[in-house]
Amino acid sequence: MAIDDGDMLPPKPQKTAYTVGYRKPPKHSQFTKGQSGNPKGRPKVAKSFATEFHDELSTRIPVTENGKPKKISRRKAVTKQLINRAAAGDLKAIWSAPLGMDRWGT
């Protein structure tokens, strides 16, 4: 008499209803697979005035120097204008040049 292997296996447990409880939220409110819990991400922090000012001074602008076009930072353009005006005898520029060196570190 041959024993059928299928009869020897224990019966498979029946799938019971999902129980909702501690750390087991309802299925309809769980995140779907591959979806983040925070899709927009963390909001960006507003930049300070000093950072904005530094960014604007660092942007490059086109200028013509000695008949040749080139790009320089706004900080450098302001410094050149200030020095040129001071050299031409503008008293405000003469007094502003040392202040600019202290504040901007140039």
pLDDT of residue 18: 82
Question: Average pLDDT in the 8-29 region?
Answer: 81
Per-residue pLDDT of 19-37, as tens digits, reads 899 989 998 888 888 887 8
Residue type, 86: A
Q: Estimate the crossing angle of helix 74-87 against helix 91-104, to 10 degrees.
A: 150
In 10 A of CB 82, how many CB atoms?
20
Higher model confidence: residue 9 or residue 49?
A: 49
- Nearest alpha-carbon partner for 60 in 38, 47, 77: 77
Per-residue pLDDT of 41-96, as tens digits, reads 888 899 999 899 999 999 999 999 899 999 999 989 988 888 888 889 888 877 77
